[in-house]
Each structure stands twice: as structure tokens, then as C-alpha cells.
């Protein structure tokens, strides 16, 4: 049982000091979670700490590969609105 | 009647191009001697000082504990100048090295700030390690920090211990219902908290932190982002409250929101305030509070005088190649500081000296007195934009990157702000974007000058002349190389003599 950080991570360090298991480490091109150390904070905190502070939607996945902060959940921007804005910028 | 005229300060290289920002006196006069002494070499806290002294930010604090709707944590662009943007994250050791290198190269350097790109107090180890080292290695450099306030109460003691004399708190609201529209979430006591509850906690912590800092005698500046339709009216209340609690300066800044920044406000189409709205709000708050008008909303890794960014000269690889004599550099800084401070003192003394009847030249204007009936008879206020450098009308209209805005009236000439000649990122050259909806750079510049009736510049081309006139803005190249305030005063007097100041201004045709 372990969480995973993927490439959308922006290396902001916010999660590193919060991890009760010191499972998160600096790596290139982005931070990683040592799967052997990660407990998903079970028994320590109600919420996985890295997931609770991460500012980037979709950057942390659970064991099944599901984004724990899905699109729109942190910024409040509806995904369809985001897609429309990106399309508009690309069309300029 | 003749307007009082400002003396032109000696031209300085780079940075803000005003000769003397006219509201200096009103800003500084609201302060006690003690505060004045403490801010006189801090460019972000004293309008006076920002012509002489430089600051730098070191980007050691990447983590943040809240989300603001005007911020996108993914953003990094070398051509962008706005808070939260950086090119290179530094370790505390690198930050110390960079600070010493900059301070050795730029003797005007008086202040080292930590302002992000996240929240400095959400990265306390990195922030305080940087401060600790610098306090030993460059004791003459003032240290300051800018925070969202959430962790502030936990760190006031340590801030005081490190002799940090200046703290900026970003306070956008004092009402959780307003806050819920600005902050989608905070990280608090091991949980992510959303909505109104999050805003209520943040506001309480900000206010508590403000009170604790004031109790410790630490100077507090409050930054607020003006978000039309969200907190515009509310900021008047914020200004009153933070003043009552002891903040000494309020800096209301315009929201920066573009879809390409990827922020909530940018993507959702929240508009930024126009310059007139910003000025109106600053004017409304000024009755209660010292207002800052010279903020350039700099990056979290900015280097140099306000209005210039020399960050490119100090990348880590360039710093590694420098040979620096730290002791000698400190002596050079001390010498520069003594000279600049003496100049500032002299300016201030002249400004406060009793007026000589024959003296045409005064340095600062007192704040215009409202009940000046005479002035109502003598002519109304006029806003003028100036393409300036080193305190002179010295820039070609087409070359101006920013315009300084002056308010001229029978009571004098006052600096009230600055406007970018173009959008924050021009785009075309750097981002490969075409011109947006057929709007040219000239159109955007004219739009940025809305509310101004005159634009003074050293020269101007035929096409922009016509377009400006069509937009109701009179171009004026007659005062090239004259001190700004004298030129503005002269133009106002010409308008008065021509009978243009009795009636309301011709409708500005700028959208």
C-alpha cells in the first residue's frame, strides 16, 4: 500500500516535511515516494498528508492509479472550462 | 496663478524614473520619526527610498499552505514579472551566496526579502536558515519577509529574534464570505480545509499575526489584491481595520489575471481592475491610511531597484564565477548609504522648511487640501501620463515601457501611480502568440492611459499622435528633457490659461 507521485509534480517541497514516514525524496525530474516506506498515513492521520497539501491536481495517485486530487478539486476550475480556455489560447 | 514646482532630483540610473514621487510627503508625513528612520532605506516601505535603494528576493520558499485564486503553482516564465514567478529555486546556502554577490555588485542593495514563490513561513527551516546566515555574514543588510499569514503567529517570536524589522502580510479580506471567493482551500492542522471555514481560519490567523507583530514593534505593511466585484468595496474596511491594529502602510495592488497564467481568476474570466479603479480605491483608503503607490508587483526572485530586474546577471552559474571581496563590498555599501541618506535628509529638510516667498522650488507638496475653494475656482484636477527617465520627460512615446501618472491641480503636482505601456506579457516576440483580436500594442497602450488628458514625452510619431488625440488624450512633446513636475505644472497652467479647466474634462474615448 503506497501512493505515487507522477510527472505533473512541480517540486514545491510542500509534502516532504509532512510525511510521517520520511518516504518522500527529492529526485529528477520530480519528487518520488518510496513505496516501501509509505503507509498512506493510515493510523497516523485522517488524510494522507502529501495528498492534503499538494497544490497540483492529479499529481498523486493511489495504488490503483486513481488521482487523489482530481481535476477541478483544488483550483475550483471546472475541467470543461479549463479545456475551453486551453483551446482558446491554442487558437490565437 | 503659478503652481509650486518641484525641484528635480539628480538623475539616477535605472529603476523608477520619477524625480520625486509627489505623494512622498503625504506618505512619510503620516509616520513618526522612529518609523521614518527605520524605513528610509527600504525601497518597498518608503517611496523616497525606492529611488536610491535596491532590494532583492531570494526564492528559497517553494511550499505553500494555502491556495489563492490569483496564483498558479505551476507557473514559471522568464518573461513574466509578477509575484510567485521564479526561474530558479535556491537552497539557503545558494541564497546566501547570491545575496552576498548581489550586495557586492550593487552598492544600493539594502534589503533582502523572502517572498516565495510559496509562503516563506510555510518553509520555516529554509527561510530562517537563510536569515541566520545573512545576519552574520552581511549584518548591514535588512531582512524582511512577506507572508499570507496562516503560519505567522507561530513564527513571530523567531522573526523578532532574527531582528527582522519589516513584515508584509497579504490581507485581501476580513470577512470569511469574501475570503471564500478568494481562497479555495488552506492546509491547517494536518487537513485540507475548503471554503468559508478555510477563509475564517486564515483571516483570524492574519489578524492575530498582525497584532503580535505590532506588539513586538515590528513594522507591518499590508498588501491587498484588488479584485473587482469580489473585494473592491470591502478593501476600504480592510484598510481601516489594519490601520487600527497598527499596520503602517497599505499597498493595494491590481489583480493580474490572464487565461494563459492558468489561475482560477484568469481561466474563469475574472477581470483585473483598470488603473482608474485602482487609483479611486487607493484615494478612498488614503484618508485612513498611508497608501503605497510605487509597488511594481515584482517576482519572488527580483533583483535591483524597483522597476528594473537584474536577476539575469545573477544566475547561480554566473555567481560561481565571480570573485568577491566581501569586506570591501560592505565598506562600499556603507559609503553609498551614508551619501544617499544625507541626500534624502537634505531633501526632507528642504521640504519641511518654511516657504520662502521668492522660492519657486519646493521638494514635496503637502497633500492637497480638500476645502480649497480657490482651487475649485482656479481649475480642476488633471491626470497626465509622462514617459520619463531619471526624473525628466525623456522617453519617446513609442519606447516607453511604463508611464508615470501625475495629478495636477491648483494645489500642486502629485505622483499617483504608474501604468504599464503594454500588457504584462507582450506575448508576440516571446511567447509566439499573435496579436489578440486585432488589438495592436498602440491600442493597448492607449487603453492603459484611460483617464489621462495629456501624455508628455520627448518625441512621438505621427500615427500615435493621431490615435491619442482621437482617444481624447493630448500628446505633448514640448517639454522634452524638462523635470517632470515642472513640465506637468507648465502644461496645467497652459490648459488653465486656455480656459480648458473650468468645465468637466472632455469625455475620454478610451474603452
Q: Tell me what pLDDT residue B428 has.
A: 44
Domain count, chain A: 1
Q: Tell me what pLDDT residue B218 has.
A: 94
Rounded distance between C-alpha atoms, residue B198 and residue B189, angstroms: 11
pLDDT in tens, B442-481: 888 898 898 999 999 999 999 899 999 999 999 999 999 9
Nearest CB to A47; choose among B69, B191, B266: B191
Chain A residue nearest residue B435, CA to CA? A92
Count of H-run helices and E-run strands, chain A: 2, 4
Chain A contact set for B123 (CB, 8 A): 13
Chain B contact set for A56 (CB, 8 A): 73-74
List the end-to-end C-alpha distance of chain B, in Å, as a whole number.
34
Please tell me if residue A70 touches chain B, with a CB cutoff of 8 Å. no
Rounded distance between C-alpha atoms, residue B92 and residue B136, angstroms: 14
Instruction: Give the list of residues 6+ apart from residue A55 with CB closer than 8 angstroms, or none.
Output: A10, A12, A14, A74, B64, B67, B73
Closest CA to B269 of A71, A81, A75, A80: A81
Chain B residue nearest residue A20, CA to CA? B190
The predicted model scores a pTM of: 0.80
CB contact under 8 A, A56 and B74: yes
Residue B215 is inside which H or E element, if any? Answer: helix B195-215
Kindly tell me the burial class for residue B371, based on how many C-beta atoms sit within 10 Å of its own C-beta (0-12, 13-18, 19 or more).
exposed
Nearest CB to A13; choose among B63, B67, B434: B63
Rounded distance between C-alpha atoms, residue B300 and residue B317, angstroms: 19
Q: Tell me what pLDDT residue B307 has.
A: 72
Please tell me if residue A92 touches chain B, with a CB cutoff of 8 Å. yes
CB contact under 8 A, B267 and A10: no
CB contact under 8 A, A55 and B64: yes
Q: Tell me what pLDDT residue B87 has.
A: 67
Q: What is the CATH number of the domain that holds A92?
A: 3.30.70.20
Domain that holds residue A61: 1-92
CB contact under 8 A, A10 and B69: no
Please state, as a whole number, how many other Cβ atoms lie within 10 Å of the Cβ of residue B170.
Answer: 21
Q: Tell me what pLDDT residue B358 has.
A: 40
Please tell me if residue B89 touches chain A, with a CB cutoff of 8 Å. yes
Instruction: Give the list of residues 6+ apart from residue B370 with CB closer than 8 angstroms, or none.
Output: none
CB contact under 8 A, B65 and A89: no
Per the document, the length of chain A is: 92
Rounded distance between C-alpha atoms, residue B449 and residue B435, angstroms: 19
CB contact under 8 A, B191 and A82: no
Query: Which residues of chain B are under the pLDDT cut of 70?
Result: 1-30, 45, 48, 51, 75-87, 350-377, 390, 422-439, 506-511
pLDDT in tens, A16-38: 999 999 999 999 899 999 999 99
Please tell me if residue B363 touches chain A, with a CB cutoff of 8 Å. no
A64: closest CA of chain B, how far (Å)? 22
Q: Tell me what pLDDT residue B367 has.
A: 47
Concatenated DSSP letters for B267-325? HHTPPPPPHHHHHHHHHHHHTTS-B--------TT-EESTT---GGGG-HHHHHT----
Asked if residue A55 lies in contact with residue B67, where contact means CB atoms within 8 angstroms, the answer is yes
Q: What domains appear along chain B, each with residue ranges and CATH number?
A: 23-320 (3.20.20.70), 365-497 (3.30.420.130)
Asked if residue B122 lies in contact with residue B38, where contact means CB atoms within 8 angstroms, the answer is no
Q: Tell me what pLDDT residue B430 has.
A: 39
Amino acid at each position: 500500500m503506497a501512493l505515487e507521485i507522477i510527472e505533473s509534480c512541480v517540486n514545491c517541497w510542500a509534502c516532504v516535511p509532512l510525511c510521517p514516514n520520511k518516504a518522500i525524496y527529492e529526485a529528477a525530474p520530480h519528487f518520488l515516494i518510496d513505496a516501501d516506506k509509505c503507509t498512506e498515513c493510515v493510523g497516523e492521520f485522517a488524510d494522507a498528508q502529501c495528498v492534503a497539501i499538494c497544490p497540483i491536481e492529479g499529481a498523486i495517485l493511489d495504488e490503483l492509479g486513481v488521482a487523489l486530487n482530481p481535476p477541478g478539486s483544488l483550483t475550483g476550475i471546472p475541467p470543461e472550462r479549463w479545456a475551453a480556455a486551453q483551446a482558446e489560447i491554442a487558437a490565437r | 496663478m503659478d503652481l509650486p514646482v518641484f525641484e528635480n532630483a539628480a538623475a539616477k540610473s535605472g529603476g523608477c524614473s520619477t524625480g520625486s514621487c509627489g505623494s512622498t510627503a503625504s506618505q512619510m508625513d503620516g509616520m513618526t520619526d522612529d518609523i521614518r528612520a527605520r524605513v528610509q532605506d527600504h525601497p518597498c516601505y518608503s517611496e523616497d527610498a525606492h529611488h536610491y535603494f535596491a532590494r532583492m528576493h531570494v526564492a528559497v520558499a517553494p511550499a505553500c499552505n494555502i491556495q489563492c485564486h490569483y496564483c498558479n503553482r505551476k507557473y514559471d516564465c522568464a518573461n513574466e514579472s509578477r509575484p510567485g514567478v521564479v526561474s530558479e529555486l535556491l537552497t539557503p546556502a545558494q541564497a546566501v551566496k547570491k545575496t552576498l554577490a548581489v550586495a557586492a555588485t550593487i552598492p544600493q542593495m539594502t534589503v533582502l526579502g523572502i517572498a516565495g514563490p510559496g509562503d516563506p513561513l510555510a518553509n520555516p527551516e529554509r527561510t530562517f536558515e537563510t536569515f541566520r546566515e545573512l545576519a552574520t555574514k552581511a549584518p548591514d543588510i535588512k531582512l524582511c519577509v512577506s507572508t499570507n499569514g496562516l503560519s505567522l503567529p507561530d513564527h513571530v517570536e523567531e522573526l523578532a529574534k532574527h531582528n527582522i524589522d519589516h513584515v508584509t502580510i497579504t490581507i485581501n479580506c476580513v470577512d470569511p464570505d469574501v475570503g471564500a471567493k478568494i481562497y479555495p482551500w488552506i492546509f491547517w492542522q494536518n487537513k485540507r480545509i475548503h471554503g468559508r471555514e478555510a477563509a475564517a481560519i486564515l483571516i483570524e490567523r492574519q489578524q492575530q499575526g498582525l497584532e503580535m507583530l505590532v506588539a513586538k514593534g515590528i513594522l507591518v505593511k499590508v498588501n491587498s489584491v484588488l479584485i473587482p466585484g469580489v473585494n473592491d468595496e470591502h478593501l476600504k474596511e480592510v484598510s481601516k481595520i489594519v490601520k487600527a491594529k497598527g499596520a503602517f502602510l497599505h499597498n493595494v495592488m491590481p489583480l493580474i489575471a490572464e487565461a494563459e497564467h492558468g489561475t482560477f481568476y484568469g481561466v474563469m474570466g475574472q477581470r483585473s481592475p483598470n488603473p482608474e479603479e485602482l487609483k479611486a480605491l487607493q484615494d478612498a483608503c488614503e484618508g485612513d491610511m498611508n497608501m503605497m503607490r510605487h509597488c511594481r508587483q515584482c517576482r519572488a526572485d527580483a533583483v535591483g531597484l524597483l522597476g528594473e530586474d537584474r536577476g539575469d546577471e545573477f544566475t547561480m552559474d554566473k555567481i560561481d564565477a565571480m570573485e568577491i571581496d566581501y569586506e570591501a563590498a560592505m565598506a562600499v555599501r556603507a559609503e553609498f548609504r551614508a551619501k544617499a541618506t544625507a541626500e534624502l535628509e537634505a531633501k526632507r529638510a528642504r521640504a519641511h522648511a518654511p516657504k520662502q516667498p521668492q522660492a519657486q522650488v519646493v521638494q514635496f507638496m503637502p497633500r492637497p487640501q480638500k476645502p480649497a475653494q480657490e482651487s475649485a475656482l482656479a481649475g480642476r484636477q488633471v491626470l497626465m501620463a509622462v514617459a520619463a527617465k531619471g526624473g525628466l520627460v525623456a522617453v519617446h512615446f513609442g519606447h516607453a515601457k511604463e508611464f508615470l501618472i501625475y495629478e495636477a491641480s491648483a494645489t500642486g503636482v502629485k505622483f499617483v501611480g504608474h501604468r504599464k505601456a503594454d500588457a504584462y506579457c507582450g506575448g508576440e516576440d516571446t511567447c509566439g502568440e499573435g496579436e489578440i483580436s486585432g488589438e495592436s500594442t498602440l491600442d493597448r497602450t492607449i487603453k492603459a492611459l484611460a483617464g489621462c488628458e495629456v501624455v508628455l514625452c520627448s518625441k512621438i510619431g505621427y500615427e500615435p499622435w493621431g490615435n491619442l488625440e482621437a482617444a481624447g488624450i493630448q500628446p505633448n512633446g514640448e517639454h522634452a528633457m524638462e523635470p517632470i513636475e515642472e513640465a506637468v505644472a507648465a502644461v496645467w497652467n497652459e490648459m488653465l490659461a486656455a480656459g480648458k479647466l473650468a468645465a468637466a474634462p472632455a469625455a475620454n474615448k478610451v474603452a
